[in-house]
Amino acid sequence: MDNTTTQAPEPPEGLSSRDRILWAAASMLGEGAASSLSVRGVAARARVSTGSLRHHFPTQRDLMAAVLPLVYDLVLPVDSIKDSTIPARERLIAYLQNQIAPEGADLDLREAWLLAFDRYARTVPTPAVREEYLAIEREMRRRIEFALMVLEDEGALAAGETDGRARYLATVLNGLSVARAFPVDETFLQVELDVLGRAVDSLLDTVVAT
């Protein structure tokens, strides 16, 4: 392929090398599927050498780990479930996505799942450890139930079956979360939003059906 003369956007002035790299990577991710994040591609757009890129981000995974939160924060509002200026559907989607990958904590989901496996699944857990895990699971459901009840109080969601609904959403979140610990293709951001949308719609549709 001949990429020599494809006019690449220039990085904003006054940015550090590191920030130019992040800017370049983020802008390339934003352009979607076609352009994946290659070392040379990002380095060229950032106007730095591959060596400089590697100095700041020792592996491509490190680069992705630094860029993804930036991209997500652009796309997903921080808003709590109570911000009723946002339509219930979008609000619940954003809230659930935030449950998958909390913004503040810079935790790597891969890392998190590995730790969880080592602690709760690698060996037969003692009753105490088992309880600990079930408690964490309950807490996750509790957070989902909280969101559902806020929407119920608003009248955006038909009442009832909170427990079943929360368990259902928790399963979907679990599926999305564990998928992120594994390799993803270029479309995973859209896919994730589509899946969350379907899950949320399957609850909200009940309102219409009433």
Helix or strand holding residue 186 (H, E) = none
Residue in 8, 37, 178, 179 binding DNA, rule: CB under 7 A:
37
State the minimum distance, in angstroms, from the CB of residue 33 to DNA. 14
Q: Rule CB under 7 A: say whether 77 interacts with DNA.
A: no
> By CB under 7 A, what part of segment 45-74 binds DNA?
47-52, 54-56, 58-61
DSSP codes joined into one string, 101-114: S-SSS---HHHHHH
What does the block give as tokens for 131? 């309880």
State the minimum distance, in angstroms, from the CB of residue 56 to a second copy. 17
State the minimum distance, in angstroms, from the CB of residue 85 to a second copy. 28
CB-nearer residue toward DNA: 7 or 210: 7
Q: Rule CB under 7 A: say whether 202 interacts with DNA.
A: no
SS3 content of the chain, % helix, strand, coil (to 5): 65, 0, 35
State the minimum distance, in angstroms, from the CB of residue 22 to DNA. 12
CB-nearer residue toward DNA: 54 or 89: 54
Q: Which of 101, 115, 103, 93 is nearest to 203 (CA)?
A: 93
**Which of a second copy, DNA, none does 205 bind, CB closer than 5 to 8 A by kind?**
a second copy
Q: How many Å apart are CA 199 and CA 168, to the nearest integer?
A: 8
CB-nearer residue toward DNA: 36 or 190: 36
For 171-177, the CB contacts below 8 A with 24+ separation are: 172/96, 172/196, 172/199, 173/96, 173/99, 173/100, 173/140, 173/144, 176/100, 177/100, 177/101, 177/109, 177/113
**Which of a second copy, DNA, none does 13 bind, CB closer than 5 to 8 A by kind?**
none
Q: Rule CB under 7 A: say whether 131 interacts with DNA.
A: yes
